Amino acid sequence: MTDYSWTTSRAAGILMHISSLPSRQGIGSFGEGAEKFLDFLTLSGIKYWQICPLTPTGFGDSPYQSFSAFAYNTYFIDFFELQKFGLIDEGDADKLSGLPSKKCDYGAIYQTLPDILRKAARKFFESQKPSLYDKSFDDFCEENKDWLENYALFCALKKRFGGLPWTKWDAEFKTRKNITLSDADKDEISSVKFGQYVFYCQYMRLKRKANSRNIEIIGDMPIFVSEDSADVWANPELFDLKKDLSPRNVAGVGPDYFSPTGQLWGNPLYSWKSNPKGVYGFWEKRLEKAFGLYDVLRLDHFRGFADYWAIPANSQDASNGSWKIGPGKQFFEKMRKIFKTEKFIAEDLGILSERAVKLCRDINIPTMAVLQFAFGSDASNPYLPHNLSRNIVCYTGTHDNPSTNDWYANADPKTQDHFRRYFATPAQSPNWNMVLGALTSVSNLAIIPMQDILSLGAESRMNTPGVASGNWQWRMSFFQLESAIKNTSSFLRSLCELSGRENKTEPKSLPPDLLKFIK
């Protein structure tokens, strides 16, 4: 039997994407805010830090619609560290500091950060330094050439064509035949590679620091890739495309809890049946790279491995799609032979088919239970804490849900009454009732969005499924983070201790200024 269970001891995690961290550059980074957030996790007795995909954001600023399944979002680079290296001047540093601090303004970020990164890249190459970190630039490029070459070329051509999707480029560039590169293209290729190098080195340093404190990173992998991506452009044979390279069918989900007409994602589907060897090889590379970055990997839209919703490519919404059978158990048996001990979580927002439920049971993979789906019916609701099992990851909410306070404020009277009676509370602080419910559940792993720890409302929502704009903008301020460190961490640690989830860190791995906070 293929067995993916691993949640054998009790622990707690926080869901907080990098983009939402406080920083001085308009979006969260691997700088001071990330370091302080690690302090918060340490002081709170938290073992897991869950993040959203680290890939470049594409349509709608979503990390789930990326220009590459392998590349990194260079917005997260700590640009002020590059200033310390002499690669960014004071004027550009002032531009970074002038970006909005209360939310991610992706338009302003796009107009500012890429050009500053290009300038830094030019200075780096002019200086002829072999490296900035413990890994050299050349070594990084060599180790990642299987995807980096295609991605850098894709980005250079996208810049040449004014940001248009590759499907609208001139014919020779769409088919990658007889491409002639300009000097500007070559400069952009070098700049892209430099940005990927800096991201990797800064992120891995942060991860090593987290691991030294016994904190593990839970990453997130979308099952599908974007049509406008280096992956589809460079490997069209892996996807269900027509001869003109346009999709035959696209991905999404049918009508559900989040949308009465379903969700039309638009991603091309894999050629699971016509090119199984190629698609399996692609997934093997994806997983190998992911487990170089993360300690645990959440597979987004896990249902798609069992059965997936195929929507005709010219559809206006997702309502007229049909179900197709996915690779199923065979896929996971093959991957388990390669990734023998790696840890997965199957994303489950309560809408799994019988085939998907059977797949989860057959491979014994940890699934999800979101407590916001638990209330409003009766004691048999499978998401109520008393109905959960140990091999389930219990969430108060996810990046696709409102904060608990916002959820409760907008719930119908029946649901609110059920919630109050279940927790025997007047629900003056519904977020903490829900947090305690997750922590004291039988599930071995409980994960809480940072918005619930901060007691936030509607202003803190990350993503509303089915809504194309206005998402992924929420950010925590330095004041909120400092307040959480000083005023909330000890309380959260006591709850983790009470529920048998406290993550104990070896004192030798902690900065002296943190030791005084921990018994």
- Report the pLDDT value the prediction gives residue 95, as an integer from 0 to 100: 97
SS (H, E, C) 487-499: HHHHHHHHHHHHC
Q: What does the pLDDT read at residue 59?
A: 80
Q: Which helix (H) or strand (E) holds 191?
A: helix 183-212
User: Which of the residues 32, 149, 284, 400 is marked catalytic?
Assistant: 400
Q: Is the model's pLDDT at 304 over the cut of 90?
A: yes
- Residue 508's pLDDT is what? 63
Q: Is residue 357 part of a domain?
A: no
| Longest pairwise C-alpha distance within the chain | 70
In this prediction, residue 504 carries a pLDDT of 86
Percent of all residues in the chain with a pLDDT value above 70, rounded to a whole number: 97
- Per the domain annotation, does 449 fall within a domain? yes
Phi-psi map region of 240: left, alpha, beta (phi>0 left; psi -120 to 50 alpha): beta
pLDDT at 404: 98
Confidence of residue 517 (pLDDT cuts 50, 70, 90): low
Regarding whether 163 and 81 lie in a shared domain, the answer is yes
Contact yes or no for 315/263 (Cβ under 8 A):
no
Compute the distance between CA of residue 476 and CA of residue 37 in angstroms, rounded to an integer. 10
- Catalytic entry in 300, 307, 348, 502: 300
Summarize the confidence of residues 120-133 as an average pLDDT: 93
CATH number of the domain enclosing 390: 3.20.20.80
**97 shares a domain with 161:** yes
Are 116 and 181 in the same domain?
A: yes
pLDDT digits (tens, 9 = 90+) for 227-248: 999 999 999 999 999 999 999 9
Active site residue 228: no
Average pLDDT over residues 153-181: 93
Domain co-membership, 346 together with 314:
yes
Q: Which two tokens stand for residue 148?
A: 């980096």
Number of domains in the chain: 3
Q: Is 370 helix (H, G, I), strand (E, B) or coil?
A: strand
Residue 297 lies in a domain: yes
State whether 301 and 395 are in the same domain.
Answer: no
Please give the average per-residue pLDDT across 384-395, as a whole number. 96
263 and 119, same structural domain?
no
Last residue of a domain, one of 213, 244, 264: 213
Q: Is residue 223 part of a domain?
A: no
* pLDDT tens figures, 265-293: 899 999 999 999 999 999 999 999 999 99
- Measure the CA angle with vertex 392, ends 391 and 396; round to 5°: 155
| 494 shares a domain with 429 | yes
Q: Would strands 216-221 and 249-253 be described as parallel, antiparallel, or unpaired? A: unpaired
> What integer is the mean pLDDT of 61-77?
96
Q: Is there a catalytic annotation at residue 347?
A: yes
Is 310's pLDDT higher than 80? yes
Query: Is 240 one of the catalytic residues?
Result: no
- Considering the domain architecture, whether residues 456 and 374 belong to the same structural domain is answered as yes
**What is the DSSP pairing of strand 216-221 with strand 48-50?**
parallel
pLDDT band at 328 (very low <50, low <70, confident <90, very high): very high
Domain that holds residue 85: 60-213
Same domain, 378 and 481: yes
- Do 219 and 297 form a contact (C-beta atoms < 8 A)? yes
- Does residue 309 contact residue 326 with C-beta atoms inside 8 Å? no
Tokens representing 292?
A: 């170089």
Kindly state whether residue 77 falls inside one of the protein's structural domains. Answer: yes
Q: Model's pTM, two decimal places? A: 0.96
DSSP state of 465: T
Query: Is 22 found in the same domain as 139?
Result: no
Residue 13 inside a domain? The answer is yes
Q: Of 324, 351, 378, which residue is a domain's last? A: 351
Residue 432 has pLDDT above 60, yes or no: yes
Task: Judge whether residue 497 has pLDDT over 70.
Answer: yes
pLDDT at 516: 64
Query: Of residues 434 and 172, which shows the higher confidence score?
Result: 434
- The domain boundary, picked from 317, 351, 385, lies at 351
pLDDT tens per residue, range 183-242: 999 999 999 999 999 999 999 999 999 999 999 999 999 999 999 999 999 999 999 999
Kindly state whether residues 100 and 203 are assigned to the same domain: yes
The answer to whether residues 287 and 336 belong to one domain is yes
Q: Which residue has the higher pLDDT, 121 or 255?
A: 121
Q: Is residue 361 part of a domain?
A: no
| 224 located within any domain | no
Q: What is the pLDDT of residue 15?
A: 98
Q: Which amino acid is residue 100, in one-letter code?
A: P
β-pairing verdict for 249-253 and 307-312: antiparallel
**What is residue 130's predicted lDDT score, i.e. its pLDDT?**
86
Residue among 347, 406, 452, 502 flagged as catalytic: 347
pLDDT score at 20? 98
